[in-house]
Amino acid sequence: MKPSCNNSSVVHGISAGPIGADPSGRGPVAGRVGPCQVARAHCKWRVFCATRWLCLRTHLYNDCVPFRHVSSKRADQRLTERRNPASTNLDRLSAEAIVRLMNREDSKIATAVAREIRSIARAVDAIVHGIQRGGRLFYVGAGSSGRLGVLDAAECAPTFGTSRKLVQALIAGGRRAVTNAVEGAEDSVRNGELDLQAKKLSPKDVVIGIAASGTTPYVLGALKYARKCNATTVAVTANRNMPVARIAKILIAPEVGPEVLTGSTRLKAGTAQKMVLNMLSTAAMVRLGHAYENLMIDLLDTNEKLSERSVRILAEASGKDLSAAKHALRQSGHNLRVALVMLKKKVDAPTAKRMLKTSTGNLRRTLGES
């Protein structure tokens, strides 16, 4: 109820009698109050009443409106966006102190990746199964994460002798984004879907979304489209319980914690992602038979350095000297598999090729070592 502003009121337990009355209650004080004083007193009293009424209304309103508390958990959901307590004085450190700090933080990465070994192995098995059925592997990412995907995909062909179409990378913003920042490219869910749609995705394919934050719209769009196509989906992120985790069938989330430079996910998060991608592509290709012992048996000798490496690999694998290895490589048309069969089984190149074809390219089986 609105408080009364008459000449006698009680506000917060303080009694106020009629204007000009003696506080003791014995009546008016003669000779002390004139007409002007009475008028000023009335004005002050009305201002006091109006002020108290506004305060009362404010309290009533605030009591009725629910308080929206922003939980610290919600604000800090992305570990990669938090500040690292160990580096709050980063700008005051010497060069050596900064490098030592970064080195200490980097030591946590391998441990974080180790916690994801089972998930990584599941993804490797999925990649192998998909490729054996005629599928392909796609990396999808934006910014630093996208560039790591491009890097790993580019290395697969020369390292394992595979087709460049077998392992491909899509980066938000296209080729230009590999060397330059393309503003806003990662913010489009639709572009992620369209870029993958252009690849004519099939259920045999495997799509790996790389997003340090776990919230990149471009990656989310690609993974959602991949699910529609019944392709196998994998997420590589540094933040668990993010949207990307709810879309992907397999989640790989090495949580490396806050970065030395707040939010710069090219640091610990990026290193963890690179380690994961190394494991995925290398383990998958080895399981598919693109290695003999621990040697790159399908290496493409596209330059002088790689040609010399091919000779050394063949010599190591066959137990022959470098001269014999060079001769066999020339006879085989620089095919390491054929050359190794020639040296180990003591046959010519055409025979070695037939033997490999009979065993569907399985080198161990061809050599009788399976």
Instruction: Provide the annotated active-site residues.
Output: 155, 186
- The rounded radius of gyration (Å) of the Cα atoms in the chain is 37
Tell me how far apart the alpha carbons of residues 110 and 364 are, in angstroms, rounded to a whole number: 33
To 10 degrees, what angle do helices 117-132 and 268-287 make? 40
Buried b (16+ CB within 10 A) or exposed e, 232-261: bbbbbbbbeebbbeebbbbbbbbbbbbbbe
Report phi then psi at 136, rounded to 5. Answer: -130, 165
Q: Answer left, alpha or beta for residue 259, where phi above 0 means left and psi between -120 and 50 means alpha.
A: beta
Question: Between vectors from CA 241 to CA 190 and to CA 224, what angle results, nearest 5°?
Answer: 25
Name the helix (H) or strand (E) containing 290: none
